[in-house]
Amino acid sequence: MTQKAAWWQRYGTFAQMAHATVALLGFCAVLLQINEIRSSSRASAARTAFLGYTDLAFKNPKFAQPDYEAIKAGSREERSQYESFVSYFLYACEETFAAFADKREWQASCDYDLKPHLPFLCEKNQAQPAYLATYGTDTQQWVKTSLKTASVAPPGCKLGKT
């Protein structure tokens, strides 16, 4: 003969299931919170990198809006500084693209600032293709597309009419 379960036994199983459900929901909430923290951290780092680039451009207007022919004719130190300036710029844009993929204004800002550096990037890519390979594939593609759009191509690597 089977014995009828007491009320606490029947509801005890229900309570255990409810407890497990609440624990699972809590775990999901923690995962969502971690994802949000990661996203916020990435956005903050991207803003900091871009702000650093903006400060660098403010302090070095000759590199922000370069006369590339004059820079090429200048000292080795000036050419090295300019290359570092462009590298920092590309890094800042790469970070903002990754953090703000859905915000077109960041892309537009980088597009605008990239144009005067295209002759340098064209020559650098022609002489040392490994230079662009130090950036992510999205950044490499962005630079190559910008070179094509602006009609900047070897051997002259001059900024064309756009």
Mean pLDDT for back-to-back runs of 10 residues, the chain (162 residues): 62 71 76 72 80 88 89 89 92 87 83 90 87 88 88 78 52
Q: What is the pLDDT of residue 6?
A: 65
What φ, ψ does residue 61 adopt, rounded to 5°? -60, -25
Q: What is the pLDDT of residue 158?
A: 82
Give the C-alpha separation, 150 to 162, whole Å. Answer: 6
Q: What is the pLDDT of residue 98?
A: 84
Are 78 and 71 within 8 A, CB to CB?
yes
Are 89 and 117 within 8 A, CB to CB?
yes
Give the C-alpha separation, 59 to 47, whole Å. Answer: 18
Q: What is the pLDDT of residue 162?
A: 47
Q: Give pTM, 2 decimals.
A: 0.74
Q: What is the pLDDT of residue 58?
A: 93
